[in-house]
Chains A and B, each alone.
Chain A
Amino acid sequence: MATTSLNAAEIPTGRRFRLAIVGTGQIGRQSHIPAALASDEVEVTALVDPVVERARQVAREYGIDPVIAPDVTEVLEDIDGAIIATPNHTHGDIAVACLAARKSVLIEKPLAHSYADGLRIVEAARKSGATLEVGYCSRFRNNVLLLKQLLDAGTFGRVRRFVHQAGSAGGWAPMSGYNLDRATAGGGVLVVTGSHFLDRMLYFWGYPDSMEFMDDSEGGPEANCRATFRFSGTGLEGHAIYSKTVFLPSVLVIDTDRGRVVFEDSDESEVVFRPHGESVEQVFRQRNRKRGQEDVFRLQIEDFVRAHCDRRPPLVDGEQGLASMRLVEQLYACRKSMNADWYAGAKPAAIPSALERTTQ
C-alpha cells in the first residue's frame, strides 16, 4: 500500500519513502531490513555494503530487488533517507555524505564511536535540515513510555536509588568483529550493552552531576564495567553493571521512599511496584496490552519517516544521541580499573625449573 498521508514536498503523494539500508551485517539483516519490509511507509530501494555479494545475498533472501552498491554515495539519487547499520567508526563519514546531500539518516546506536565524530554528524544535520535519528529502539517500547509517565507523575514516591544490570557470556557477534577493537567500537560492553540504558537514564532523570566508572580493560574493549551516577538536585544515586562474560539478569530496580520498582528489560515486561511494608505488589501495564508490543525497529523506522516528512524532531534526535556519547566519554575519562590482584596474599608455589630449562 502506498503512503498518501505523507505531506513533505520532497516525497510526491502516492510514493513511499525510499530507504537505503547501509550495512547488511547482523543488525541490518536481522532487524532493520525485516522491519522496513513490514512497514507500509517505506520501500527499500537500495542496499549498500562494501561486500556487494553479501548485500546481493540479503536481497535474494528477502526477495527484493533494490539497487546494490558498495558505497552510499552511489545510491543517493535513489533514496530519501538511509539507515546506517555499519561499524561504529564508519557512521560519521557515511552520515555526513548522506546529510550533505540532504538525505535523512537513522543511525544504529551509538551515534558514533566518539563524541567528536558524533558532533560532526549533528552539525551536518543542522546544516542540511535533514532528519537525524539515533537508533535507541528500546525507547519505542510501550512499557518504557509507561515507566516514564509513572515516574514523572510521582506514582512511586521519591526515587532514591536505582540499579540497572545486564550481562551475558557472549552475545551479539558482528560479522566485521569491530566490537573487538576499542578504536572501531568506541568502547566495550558499556557502549555495546550499556548504552541503551544510558539513553533511557537520561530520558528518565536527565544528565547526572557526577559519576564514577570502573572497567576491566587492559587496552582492549572492556568486557565488564560498572558505573555510579549522582544527581545532586534530587539526591538520586544510580548504579549500572554490565558484563560480556557473566550472566546478569537484565533488570532495572528503583528504590523509592515508598517501595521498590522492578522492571525487567524486555518488550513485554510489566512495571511492578512493591510498596514497603505491604504484602501486595502493584502491576502496571498498558491498556492496549492485547495487541502486545509492536516491533520496535518498525516503529522506529516509521517515526523516522514521519519526522522527515513532517519536519519535526524524531523521538531520539541527534542531540540526545550526542548526550549519550558525552556521557560515555565522561565515564571513560574518569575510568578506574576493576582489575585487582584477586589472589593477593596467596603466595604461588615456586614454579619448577622445567619451564626455564626448556625455553632457553
Chain B
Amino acid sequence: MKVAIVGASGFVGSTLAERLRNRADLEVVPCIHSTGSAGQIARLGISLTPLNLLDRDSVARTVRGCTHVVNCSRGDDEVMLKGLRNLLKACRSARVRRLVHLSSVAVYGDPPSPDSATEDGRAEPDPGSYGWVKLAQDRMVAEAAAAGLPATILCPPNISGVQSGYIEVIVGALLRGELALLEGGRSPCNLVDVRNLAHAIELALVSGPADGRRMLLTDDDPATWHDVVDSLSPLVGNVPISGISRDDLVRLIAAPETPRISLKKSVLHLVSSDVRAALRKDPLWAKVDAALRGGARLLGIRAEDRLRLAVEGPTRVLRGDRAPALNIRLCAQQLRGVVHRCDRARRELGYRPLYTFQQSMAAFRRWYAVFHAWDTPAAPLLKAL
C-alpha cells in the first residue's frame, strides 16, 4: 500500500501520518500545502511532498503510483471545490484502490437537522457556509464513486484529544468567562477523539463498502457540555461558569438586522473620516481634504464639532456590557441538540473507538499542562495572561 495523505500538516492529517509511518506494510506520502503550517508533521523528520491542489499536473504526479488517498485538506472555497475536482480526477486516472474523504457534520446545517442522528438526515446547510462547501464536496465524491472510484466519506463532529484546537478554545473561553452553559449543560457535545478518527480512516482504507456514502464518526459515549466542562475543571480550576436560558441564547445569536439602503447614509459615509483617510493617500484628494478641513475650522470649534457629529453620528455605548462578553459562536453550539451516531461505521467498517470520552479528555489535560508549561513554577504567571 502506498497512501497519500492530502492535508498532512493539519490536525487529523498529521495524527494519521504519525500512526501510519510506524506500519511496515505501507508507505506514506504526506502532502503539505505550506511550509509555514507544517510544523506538526515536520517534527517527525519524514519526507514531505509539497502539493498545490489547484495545480492539476502536480496533483496527478503526486497521486500517480499511490494505491490509496486520504483527503484531509482544508482551504478556501476554490481549494475545497476545484482542488477536490483535481484530486478526484487524479485518483480516477491513477486507479487508486480507495479514497477516504473527510467531511463534517456541518453538512447537516447549524443547528443540524433533528433527524441527523444518522447519516440519512436532511443535509441543508446555509448557502455559502462551511457546511455548504463540505456538502458540495460530498456530492462530488459520491458522483466519483458512482463513476467507479472506490470512495468512503467519513463525517466527524468537532475533534478532541491531544492537540485539539477545539478543546483549547473551550479552555480559553472558560478561563475568560466567555462560556455560559445552556440549561445546566445538558445539551450534547458531539466529539470524536483524533486517534479514534485516525483509526477509522485506517479501517476505511481497507474495508467497508466504498460506495461514496457518508459515514458519521463519533466517540462511542455521547458527552454533554456539562461533561466537557467538568472534565476540564482539573486543568482550569474552579472557574465560575454562568448559566443562560434558551431564550437569552437565541436572542444573543440572532443575526443583526441588515442595514437598509439610505441615500443620506451613503452620502454621509462618503464624507466620513474612514473614507477621507483612504482618499488622502492620493495627493490631489489630500489637498482637497486639507482645504475642506481648513474651511470647517474657520467656522469655529463648536460648528466644527456639530458638523463632525452630523457626519459621524453619536458615539454608541452598549448598555449593560460590564460582564465578560460571551463567545457567542461557542455558546450557540449548545443549541445543536442532536446526538450523531456512528452505528453505520460500527456496522460496515468494524469501527470501535479506541478511547472513551473520559480517556480522551484526560489525555488532553496531560498534554495541555506540559505544552503550555502549566506544570512549572511559571504557571501562575502564564495563567494570569
Contacts and interface: CB of A to CB of B under 8 A. Distances in A.
A352 B48 contact: no
Interface of B: 1, 23, 25-26, 34-40, 42-46, 48, 50, 162-163, 165, 168, 195, 199, 202-203, 206-207, 349-356, 359-360, 362-364, 366-367, 370-373, 376-378, 381-382, 384-385
B34 A170 contact: yes
Contact of B37 (A170, A247, A340, A345): A170
Contacts of B370: 214, 338, 340
Contacts of A177: 35, 48, 50
11 contacts: A163-B378, A170-B39, A173-B35, A177-B48, A214-B370, A218-B45, A220-B45, A226-B376, A253-B381, A354-B203, A359-B206
Contact of A241 (B35, B43, B359, B373): B373
A355 B40 CA distance: 26
Contact of A243 (B45, B203, B207, B371): B371
Contacts of A340: 366-367, 370
Given A349-B354, A354-B207, A180 B42 contact: yes
Nearest to A218: B44
Nearest to A350: B352
Interface in A225-256: 226, 228, 237, 239, 241, 243-249, 251, 253, 255
B206 A171 contact: no
B358 to A, nearest CB: 9
Contacts of B366: 340, 342, 344
Given A248-B372, A346-B355, 9 more contacts: A165-B382, A171-B36, A173-B37, A174-B35, A181-B42, A243-B371, A342-B366, A343-B360, A352-B351
B42 A358 contact: no
Contact of B44 (A219, A226, A344): A219
User: For this complex, into which size category does the number of interface residues on chain A fall?
Assistant: 35 or more
Nearest to A165: B382
A221 B373 CA distance: 20
A125 interface: no
A116 B50 CA distance: 31
Contacts of A338: 370-371
The 7 A-B residue pairs whose C-beta atoms are closest, nearest first, are A219-B45, A173-B36, A244-B39, A170-B37, A220-B45, A223-B39, A346-B359
A161 interface: yes
Interface of A: 161, 163, 165, 169-177, 179-182, 188-189, 214, 216-224, 226, 228, 237, 239, 241, 243-249, 251, 253, 255, 260, 338, 340, 342-346, 348-352, 354-355, 358-359
A169 B371 CA distance: 14
Nearest to A212: B376
B352 A349 contact: yes
A239 B199 contact: no
A343 B162 CA distance: 9
B42 A220 contact: yes
A251 to B, nearest CB: 6
B10 to A, nearest CB: 10
B43 A221 contact: yes
Contact of B382 (A163, A214, A345): A163
Nearest to B163: A245
Contacts of B372: 241, 246, 248
Contacts of B37: 169-171, 173
A348 B202 CA distance: 15
Contacts of B23: 359
Given A219-B45, A244-B39, A359-B1, A228 B376 contact: yes
Contact of A161 (B48, B355, B381): B381
Contacts of A165: 373, 382, 385
* Residue of B35, B162, B378 contacting most chain A CB atoms (<10 Å): B378
A183 to B, nearest CB: 10
B373 A226 contact: yes
B35 A188 contact: no
B35 A179 contact: yes
A321 B351 CA distance: 54
A165 B374 CA distance: 12
Contacts of A214: 370
A222 B40 CA distance: 8
B222 to A, nearest CB: 17
Contact of A355 (B43, B206, B376, B385): B206
A216 B162 CA distance: 13
B162 A244 contact: no
A217 B44 CA distance: 6
B35 A180 contact: yes
A338 B34 CA distance: 25
A223 B43 contact: yes
A179 B42 CA distance: 9
Nearest to A237: B377
Contact of A255 (B1, B207, B381): B381
A197 to B, nearest CB: 14
A349 B353 contact: yes
A226 B385 CA distance: 17
A105 to B, nearest CB: 25
B355 A170 contact: no
Contact of B363 (A172, A237, A346): A346
Contacts of A344: 366
